[in-house]
Copies of this chain bind each other. A is one copy, B any other.
Amino acid sequence: MLDVFCSIGTNGVGYNHPKMLEVAESERMQRAIATRTGLGINPSTDQHKINQEAFMSVAPPNMDRVTAAMCGSCAVEGAVKVAMMAYRVRQDGGVFVEPTPEELCSCLDNQAPGSPNLSVLSLKQGFHGRLCTSLSLSRSKALHKVDVPAFDWPASQNPLYKYPLSENVEYNREQDRVALADMRAKIEQWRVEKGSEVCAVIMEPIQSEGGENLHSPEFAQGVRELTKELGIFFIVDEVQTGVCSTGTFWAHEQWNLSSPPDFVTFAKRMLSCGFYHNHETKSEQPYRHFNTFFGDSMRALLTAQQNKIIKEDNLAAMAAEVGDYLQDGLREMELKYPKLVRDPRGLGTYRSFTVDSAPLRDALGLKLKSYGVNQGPCGDHSLRLRPTLYFEKSHADFYLDALDKACKDLA
């Protein structure tokens, strides 16, 4: 069985990688397992070194801090909380001012001014998690959200491109312009009509749960400029896109932003969870944001080892190269089976295509299984690939052959 879904892409270097087993057997790992401490209050003496190897050695360009979390949703909510606290400092002219007695008192009743009317803007079809507040940011599937109360926060239009990108340049640029204008309008609308200040925009490099919608470098650069102009934060959610499968360690590196995002979240394939940020958003007071476990040394040791493996085996470059090869193969399938393989798209081996309908998508997924391929759904009627970073041309050939057979059966 060729697994190209890998638990929604959490498996970066395959099952039972010898070098991962090496760490698993190490004395340091066994100590980390047998005794867990609360890392925010009782870090081990080598925690700084572990953090350097696991997180800072692969930090996105120009980001110098990292805060741990326990899952992807927690990572997003942690970044959102820290952004809100830092926004308050910006409002006070960049200087931390002690909260007033009225603020301290009112927040215990969940009321303003202590609990302010701040909001975070996400994009339509975006996905940012399923805990109660990250769910307010997710807009991909109604069944995830229904029956759960939500914050009245804005969602702006996502750019919806025609594929292949190279043949629809002008149309797609127009979608970017429309989406950026809507983002600006929604932020203004929330301020004027609802008295709510949008303090951050959150966005994925590729909307994955929402159907694998790419966001162009031009659009992302526009968001970076808009958020800077308005003095609000830009959170890039790389929980699913992070760690090399797009061809670069972080997908947003390919946006070539003129200045880095304010927050970058990670989880899944990173094996550890949390968010990168910068000096400006460092809290001036201890314990403003806190978690008892605050990360996991055991997982961080694995992340550190995986980083080494990725570097030694040059896995990001391989994902870029095999990704191009895979895309060519998928384009050929599209010509042969236009109802079953439409709009192949993505970056590196982080790739997907649309099927004509949800029932047909599910049938194709089952057929693929019968030909030895485990692939996963995404969006309303797409299929996505999330193979490990050892996905080579031979695997792409095996996959494309299985896809060809499965399509032939269903065509």
Q: Which residues of A contact B (CB under 8 A)?
A: 7-8, 10-11, 15-17, 20-21, 23-25, 29-31, 33-38, 41-42, 70-74, 77-78, 80-81, 84-85, 87-88, 99, 103-105, 107-111, 114-119, 124, 130-136, 139, 142-153, 155, 267-268, 271, 273, 285, 287-293, 298, 302
Contact = CB atoms under 8 A, between A and B. Distances in A.
Given A10-B37, A71-B293, A104-B146, A21 B17 contact: no
Contact of A21 (B10, B30, B132): B30
A150 B143 CA distance: 24
Contact of A143 (B30, B35, B146, B288): B288
16 contacts: A7-B36, A7-B41, A8-B292, A11-B36, A24-B29, A71-B71, A71-B291, A77-B132, A85-B147, A107-B145, A110-B153, A110-B155, A114-B142, A116-B149, A118-B149, A131-B133
A152 B149 CA distance: 11
Nearest to A101: B142
Contact of A132 (B29, B31, B33, B133): B133
B11 A37 contact: yes
Contacts of A150: 107, 110-111, 115
Given A73-B291, A289-B130, A99 B34 contact: no
A104 B70 contact: no
A105 B10 contact: no
A397 B120 CA distance: 53
Chain B CB count within 10 A is highest, among A118, A139, A289, A293, for: A293
Given A74-B73, A84-B148, A107-B150, A31 B16 contact: yes
A41 B114 CA distance: 41
A108 to B, nearest CB: 6
A39 to B, nearest CB: 9
B114 A145 contact: yes
B108 A139 contact: yes
B74 A115 contact: no
Contact of A20 (B34, B115, B292): B34
Contacts of A285: 143
